[in-house]
Structure formats: structure tokens, C-alpha cells
Amino acid sequence: MSAAVVALDLPVAGMSCASCAGRVEKALTAVPGVHSASVNLASETAHVEFASPAATVLAPLVSAVEKAGYQVPQDRLALKISGMSCASCVGRVEKALAAVAGVRAASVNLASETAEVTAPRGAVDLATLLDAVKKAGYEARPFDDAATSTSAREDEAAERIARERNLALLAVLLTLPLAGGMVFELGGRHDLMLPPLWQFIIATPVQFILGWRFYKAGWGALRAGTGNMDLLVALGTTAAWGLSTWLWWRAAPDEMPHLYYEGAAAIIAFVRLGKWLEARAKGQTVSALRALMKLKPATARRRRADGSEEEVATALLQPDDRLVVRAGEAFAADGLIVEGRGSVDESMLTGESLPVEKTIGDAVHAGTLNRDGLIVARVMAVGGETTLSRIVRLVETAQASKPPIQKLVDQISAVFVPVVVLIALVTFALTLTLGGGDVEMALVHAIAVLVIACPCALGLATPAALMVGTGLAARHGILIRDAEALEVARGVTLVAFDKTGTLTEGRPVVTDIIVAPGGDQQALLLRAAALQAGSQHPLAQAIRDKVASCPLGTMDDFRDLPGRGIAGRIDGVALLFGNARLMRDEGIDMAALGPQAAALAEQGRTVSWLADADRRLALGLVGFGDEPKPQAATAIDRLKAMGIRTVMLSGDSRGAAQAVAARLGIDRVEAEVLPQDKAALITMLRKESGGAIAMVGDGINDAPALGAADVGIAMATGTDVAMQTAGITLMRGDPTLVADAIDLARATNAKIRQNLFWAFAYNVIGIPLAAFGLLNPMLAGAAMALSSVSVLSNALLLKRWRPTTRKESMA
């Protein structure tokens, strides 16, 4: 029996371009037990899937990353342990903590009753550690959780961006005197150029102190037998600095040689400036995900057994705890309401702007906001098991995945740096040969080739757009499982809808009330509702909803007639309520209402009869139907406007299915379809259409069809099976989200292609210009820095996307 595959997200620091990402992927894939590894340069994470136990494979994974020349940032989580009495207790707790997936090391101190757990940043959930200690027979609580909080990480990121900014500005300030002198020299004022000694004094710290990061990362790449952007910058600027020093050294004492110190310093200044802007933009690409992670409060109010309340860390909540949430507070865990009622704002999870009324028995979710009222909920899921945590994991997984087009980019990136170095060497050799042996000119051209190359832009083009797109989708109630689903959704030409629960409400409502001559509709409904006062049947609930505010008569002698209906006395009158079979069995005269009942049945309605049992007379009939959702017709119209055809799959009779399709404007109907035949029908439709097909459903019986479609779209109001099969999950049962999901997929893929175009264009145009001497090394460095910033800025433009409903309301 094969071991279960475990997934882990490792943070990786120190990557600067696509070749870095490729090198980390290669190193991780080479670790025994690893099935696959996917590195996201924009989020600086590696998604690794492996079959070995996490405790045995984590250390080799971290070691592989470090040997490749990068770092895995570590979190140190401190726990307070109670219940330990001896050294064997220490060993037991350490063993339990070390067995948690993602833990690299665990150390327990008996004297201080504390444990310190070391793990890659974000790889371990605190609640999981606490649960592991509890299962080992001890109690644990967070000792100091501040270091790992979201706000602490944001502070750390802000410090890193501020440091990049300060170093970039320092490099610019030091470079200005050098670049200014060059500008004056081009204008004919040679007397304003700094003396060689001062140029050397200013340029050298820029080169070897502010530029040290390029040497460090470049050397790491060389040791791993590959190259990256840092290596190109280090080679190019060192050559420019070395050439300048050599020209100065061999010049006569009173001679003013043409030096390139300003070029080397400017390249470092521009690249550092670009890295600062890139770091800022990277932070914005994950802003949507960060907003989701911050929804859950750090503390919660828990009710004790004696009825008193205490404030505890969210990580300490356990299933079955009673969570007290006042107006204006957020829920810290998933649960079921056991006391109170209120309006809950679920917009952060579902994208629905209107609050939802909640009462006893209704589910609430971590991160949602109680707008009014006092609610007490029984905790059902905590930590990583909450809906919010699962959404965050799903978004992180989607952001770590790669669309098919990225595979080609990875192949190019793997050979990009060696090819650029080769082009630089060929440029040097040809310029030296054709330029009459001018070493200086040949070296300047080669330097320009090295620094114009833009591997960073290639590496950021896809993940930057993907991170913005998937994060944006999550904020609007659309969860995208992976990049491939996004890529396929872009090309959808036909959408197949399951009818019940997807296009319709999924619950019966009273649609028709027909009474015998001389009868009264309201009286008929009141009698039917009184008969079913205690029934939980959906049809009974539909009738009670119709007369919710009216008093009902007194019922006696109630009898349940399985498969046929019910019987009883209402205010002394013997009544029957059920299907036609019950009426026939009891000898009820149905002739007067027979044609109307047949017409309703042809329309797909469920028909129930009410009869006077003593007089054997039909008093009337009630028609039930599953009405289309209010947004269904709008959803179909939007898909048509996007050039997408629609099909409805239904198990109903053709007449009933056609009636619903006609109301909604659906192009094609496939009626009387058995659940097991839906997948085969999807395959047939794909062959007929010749394009990509999306299947939208919500039930267990839709799962095979969702899997058979090019992209499955599941309603989160449906079953877990359907959501696990689908590539896209809609967090609320609104069919207009289907059009929004496809529209966002198109917008995201357009940004990916635009980014790749610009990334390739920079290199395809810039490298030849540099090779032919048409590009100054300083301008080449500026262009290289600009390439990454422009790609990220273009991806961030995707944040302006709005769902169709929002666009229309703004219009």
C-alpha cells in the first residue's frame, strides 16, 4: 500500500529571478521521497508534495534549499506545557511535536515547562501543535504567539522594504555625483567631471558594499552550477569597475581617461531601486490573501461551564466550546448557533454584500462579523479546519501552481543566463575582431549585454498576475483550485448547468392553488397547513411558509399514509391530503379537477390533492415547483453576451425542463438525464462543441460530470464531494458568479500574456541593441530594473477588475 502524499509550503528567501526558482525546484525534486515541487517567485514559496513522513523529509528539504544557495525562514513557536513530571515526559512531548507535519525541531525544557518548536515560516498551525501535545497526555498553551502573528510578519516585511528603500536611495545619492559629471561631460563641460580618485572613492563602496548582495547570490548560483540575474549584474558591474580601474592605472598622471565608474554605480543603483519597487509591488500582489488571513480575531470570548465568560487566545479554542460573540465582533471559529440571533456579514467569505440573518441552528464561520445581537455558538471547527483556513489554503495552493504556459517559460529560464553569458562573450569577441582590437569598446558592449538581460521579468510575469487574480477572486466569493483551471476557464465556449439547486432554488414552493367550484384558496391552504403542522417534509414547509402569519385549526386523529399522504380531522372535518394514488384508493371524485392536475404535471409540477374524506369529494389541489433563482436569467444573459452557449441538464420530463429553459433563455435542454449519464453527456457535448466545456453543479450526483468537464464549477452551497471534484468553487449559490469567474479568468490570463510579451520583448529587443553597441551600460541597467517593475505594475492593474454586478451598479 503506497504512503499518503503530504503537501507542504516552504518559504524560500534569496531568490531574484526565474532561474533561481528553477534551481530551487530542481534541488527540492532531487530529495528522496519528493513527488513534485513548484516554486512561486512572486510569493517566495515552494509547494512540495512527498510520500515520506514529514518529520523525516523536512530536514532534507531545508538542507536542499540551503545547499542551492537560498534560505528557508524559520519560525520559533513557544509553548507552555503542563503535566510533565520527569525526563520521559519530556521525550514524549518532544516526539509528539516532532511528528507534526512541518516541524523541523522540537525542544522541551522540563524546568521551565516550555517547548520551543522550529518550523519553516507558515508551515505549522499553532492549534495543531497544541492538539498534538494534548493527544500525548499533556496540556499546552501559547507561551508567546506575538512573533508569529500576521501583524508581526507584516512589520517584518515593512522593515525589509524600508531597508531596501534606504539602500536604494543611498546608492542613488552616491551615484548622482558620478552620473552628473558624465552628463556635464556630454554637454562639453569636461571640467566638471570628478577626478579619477574621487570617482574611485565613491564607486568602490557602491560596487562592493551596496552591491554585495549580487556577489553573494551570484556566487551561490555558481556553486550550484547555474546562473541568475545577480550573477549577470555582478559580472557586468565588476567588469565596468575593473575596466575603469585599469584605464585609470595605465593613464598618465595629468591625463583624464574615459572611465566607467558611473556606469557600474548607476547599474547597481538602478537595480537596487528596482528591487525596492519590486518588493513593494510583491506585497500588493498578496494583499487580498493577507486581508483574508487577518479576518480571524486573535482572541475570543469563551463561556465557562458555570456561565461566566473568559477571554482566551483563538488558538486555545476547542470543539464544543461555547463562543460568545457580541455585536460588532468577529467569529473566531466555525460553529452552530445555540443561543441568540443576529445579522452576520459574510461578505469577506462569499462576496455577498448584504448581511445574512442567523438564528439557532444556523452555521457561522470564522472571520465573519456579527452586525447586531448577541450570539452564542458551539464551536465545530478550529485552527486549520475552519472554512476561512481552508479558503486561505486553497488560494495559496492556486498561487503556487503553474499554468501550462509557464512550463515553456521555465524551460527558457533554465538556459537563459548561460545563453546571455555566451552572447556577451560572442559580442566581446566579434567587437574586438571587427573593432580593430579595441578592448575597451568590446568590453563595454559585453557589459551592456549582461546587464540588459531580464530573467526577473520572466520569472515574475506569470505568478504575479496569478496571485493578484486568485486573491481577487477569493475576495469576491470565487475560489480557484489551481492555475490550470484558470487557464482552461479562459477558453470556455459552452457552460452546462445542472438544474436543481444550481439554476433553481433547490426547494419546493407553492406555485399553483386550484379549488373546486365554490371553494376558497385561503381556506384550502389553511386546512392543508393545519394537517401538516408537525411535518418536516419539504412540501409541508412550503405550505406553512405560504400561510406563516395565519392561525391554524385544531388537528385530531392524525395518520401518516407512507407513499401516499396524510389524513386527519381539522376542526372536526375529516380530510385527506396527498397524491392521486391516495385519492383513488379512498374513492375520491377527482373528475372536476382532473384536467388542471394533468396540465400541472405536464409542466413538471408536483401535485397534491385535498379532499373531504366523509363526502369523498376533492376540495382542491396544490401545485409545487422548484422555482428558478432570481439571478438565473441574468446569469444566462451575461454568458450569452460573452459569446458562451448554455445547456441545462435535468432529470425532469422534457416539457418541465423546456418550461424552465424558456424562462431563463437557455440555448439547449437535455431532459430526463439520469445522474450516472451526466458525465457521458458532457463528453458528447465536448466533441460536438469543439471547445472547452464548463460544468456547473452542486450535488454528489454532479461530481462525475464536474470531473469530466474541462473545468468543473461547484456551488459551495452543495456537497463537499462536488467541491473537491471542481476546479472552481463559488462561495455562494449565485449563478451570476459563473460569468464573473470566466471573466476574471480571461482578465488574469490576458495579464499573464501581456507580462510574458513585455518580458520577452525587453530581452529580444534589448540584448541585440546592447550587442551592437546601441545601448549604454547605464541605460541597460535602468531598462533591466524597469522590466521587473513594469511587469509587476501591469499585474497590479488587474486589481481594478470588478464583478459584472458591481460594474453595472457603478454605471
- Is 695 within 8 Å of 677 (Cβ atoms)? no
Give, for 240, the enclosing helix (H) or strand (E): helix 229-250
Residue type, 380: M
d(CA 67, CA 434): 43
CA pair distance 28, 784, nearest whole angstrom: 29
Torsion angle of the four alpha carbons 250, 256, 258, 261, in this order, in degrees rounded to the nearest 10: 90
Which of 9, 498, 710, 743 is catalytic? The answer is 498
Closest to 104 in 3D by CA, of 60, 139, 50, 137? 60
Contact 510, 626 (CB under 8 A): no
At position 713, the amino acid (one-letter code) is I
Residue 226 φ/ψ region, left for φ over 0, alpha for ψ in the -120 to 50 degree band, beta for the rest: beta
Angle (CA) 153-286-16 rounded to 5° is 85
CA dihedral 570, 574, 579, 583 (to 10 degrees): -160
The C-alpha cell 532561474 sits at 19
Residues 325/327/333/337 CA torsion (nearest 10 deg): 70
Is residue 326 within a helix (H) or strand (E), and if so which, with residue range?
A: none
In angstroms, rounded to a whole number, what is the distance separating the alpha carbons of residues 497 and 734? 13
Mind giving me the DSSP string for 132-180?
Answer: HHHHTT-EEEEEE-GGGSHHHHHHHHHHHHHHHHHHHHHHHHHHHHHHH
User: Cβ neighbours of residue 130 under 8 Å, at least 6 residues apart?
Assistant: 79, 140, 141, 142, 315, 316
The amino acid occupying position 667 is D
Q: Where are the beta strands (DSSP E) in 562-644?
A: 565-570, 573-578, 606-612, 617-625
Amino acid type, 276: W
Residue 626 annotated to the active site: no
Q: Which residue has the cell 558611473?
A: 262
Active site residues: 498
